[in-house]
Amino acid sequence: MASKPIILLILGGMTHNTCYDPLKAELHKSGYETVVASLPSADPADPLDQSLTAANDARSIYAKSVKPLLDAGKDVVIYAYSYGGTVFGNDGPSFVKSERNARGEKGGIVGILYMSIATVPAGMGQLEFMGGTWPPFIVIDQPKKGFLTFDHIIAALFNDAAPADAEELAKTVVGHSSRTFDTGVLPPLWAERALDGKRVWLLAQLDGTFPPEAARTIIAASGVEWEVIERDVGHCGFVTQPGVVAKVIVEAATKWA
């Protein structure tokens, strides 16, 4: 029997590594090893640092989290949400397993499961993709110049949580360098044709940032095919309803393994 793939969990904007703890626990119950990839642009010491670009976020994810797994010949399923799925890409040889195998390399990415991302094409920034104006749930230069964060955090992120839980979860949100959203992304992983038949979009029906109708428009704009799976979870369903999200990941990983 083939070994189970590693689940690589890529953080989204304004989130701390600990937000994936509930999802990790659920995946571990099903026998899956997990790795969490963080973003240099989330909660940086200096949000105006010129190195904080979308491309450098992607390169950091690769260098610190993806490359060690590929060097070890591991199969990898990626779960990413929001900015994490938007930003991760590659301007070199493909990371996808079929492409790596064709080059005589072991391991690789066997499938992706994304949630609430913006399907920004290569070279474009997320702000430009959104029409050049910040959406109403974003506040700029808070908690200090160069940062952005959510306005009405609970409504945007944790609207499907119990009120007491939502209050605690809101405290975990961190500032994010605003300039990264105005810099071009690398050729995105989701656009690779080698992933045809191996893309799942978990459509969060209760999403307070990308409502279902907006998500469907973004999915269509991607120009690639997704298996769309709808669930009654919010933007951060991986922490408010981790069992629901974990089940979708496990079902996809089982199919791709």
* Residues 57, 29 contacting (CB under 8 angstroms): no
The answer to pTM > 0.85 is yes
| In the chain, domain spans | 6-256
Superfamily of domain 6-256: Alpha/Beta hydrolase fold, catalytic domain (3.40.50.1820)
Query: Which tens digit of pLDDT belongs to each residue from 53-112?
Result: 999 999 999 999 999 999 999 999 999 999 999 999 999 999 999 999 999 999 999 999
237 vs 157: CA distance, rounded Å: 9
Percent of the chain scoring above 70 in pLDDT = 99
Q: In what order do the strands lie in the sheet with 199-204?
A: 34-37, 6-10, 75-81, 108-115, 199-204, 227-231
Whole-number pLDDT of residue 239? 95
Query: Which tens digit of pLDDT belongs to each residue from 24-51?
Result: 999 999 999 999 999 999 999 999 999 9
